[in-house]
Chains A and B, each alone.
Chain A
């Protein structure tokens, strides 16, 4: 099998078969995944340019007539591959609940107030060094019906492409020290401790702006490609 992207990295991911998260029960494949050699179809992927995204889309607090309620935050970091190389010019999309823990989505029935000044969606394309920076408000925790008294830790949903179909990542960014971590099956579906820690942002005083906003650093590590594609004769 031609493994341009080493498979070892995939160990960080949760398994789709994770019973503590009830919705997985009827949605996870029951048959083993079929190994697929990396062809041009997998080694390519969607390309977005800076032209596709406006700078205003990275500030979720200035999208309406007024300012949203909540704790203003800056979320910034770098997108890197597993070998530490920056991932430049890649699209980062985020969406989140408002400060009260309510999504603008029609199906969100949580009886917490909507904020007319907050939608909660943003986009940015990383710069040449893989950097990105969003301004937002800290999302609230919210209840869900997975089990009795179930609450999601505060989180921001992240979506990234990276350079190929194989680097595609949808994840969630958490805030440090959240007391709900121990009770959240989605967070704990990541069984590897180091991998779990990757999803938790770090408070950063240098990123924090005096009199204005708290800074949270969140670096994102995507799968990396071998410099030289290797042939593994054993899995052909």
Chain B
């Protein structure tokens, strides 16, 4: 007999001093090997207005595709100092930003691999339950064979694929998260 779980409630508008700490937007300290990247974007509501009181949580593998977690058989080898977790609040323009290393491909339970991606959780006032999505990178050939992208209608796949811009030296990947309406981001039930 299983017990009813504790249900979710909104993070509310005043979470910053409880959840946000210095350094959380820098996911990979400088000694962690891998391609250093910036990932940023806006969170937008159904009217296309910025959401200034959202928080994005990032979970990712290291550059070799290893999660720093006991459930990953290769996780013990994950780069030391790399926890793979970050948090970024949105600013008044609805923009969130993290610096990290680009993750490697990770295994899929049906065999083969998943294209490099970040797992994202979206919290905000007005969200009673965290939203779960992913961020892929537009310059990865593996996107074409990624089983999760393949499970999404072709016309919505792009909502998960960040566009890279290497003009400034460090590659910056941008992706807006649209909570509702035109171009609504794909959110998962898992």
- Which residues of A approach B to under 8 Å, CB–CB? 2, 5-10, 12-16, 18, 21, 23-31, 33-47, 80, 82-84, 93-95, 103-105, 107-108, 119-121, 157, 159, 163-166, 168-172, 186-187, 189-190, 192, 194-196, 198-199, 220-224
Contact = CB atoms under 8 A, between A and B. Distances in A.
Given A41-B134, A80-B3, A222-B5, 13 more contacts: A6-B2, A8-B2, A16-B131, A28-B179, A31-B187, A36-B188, A38-B109, A41-B119, A42-B119, A157-B15, A186-B10, A192-B4, A221-B3
Given A44-B71, A171-B8, A39 B108 contact: yes
A119 B49 CA distance: 31
A23 to B, nearest CB: 3
A41 B60 CA distance: 7
Contact of A171 (B9, B45, B131): B9
B7 A198 contact: yes
Interface string B84-117: 1100000000000000000000111110001001
B59 A27 contact: no
Given A14-B7, A29-B187, A34-B151, A47 B18 contact: no
Contact of B19 (A23, A159, A163): A159
B129 A34 contact: no
B77 interface: no
A24 B128 contact: yes
Determine chain A's interface SS by DSSP, over half rule.
Answer: loop
A27 B5 contact: no
Contacts of B106: 39-41
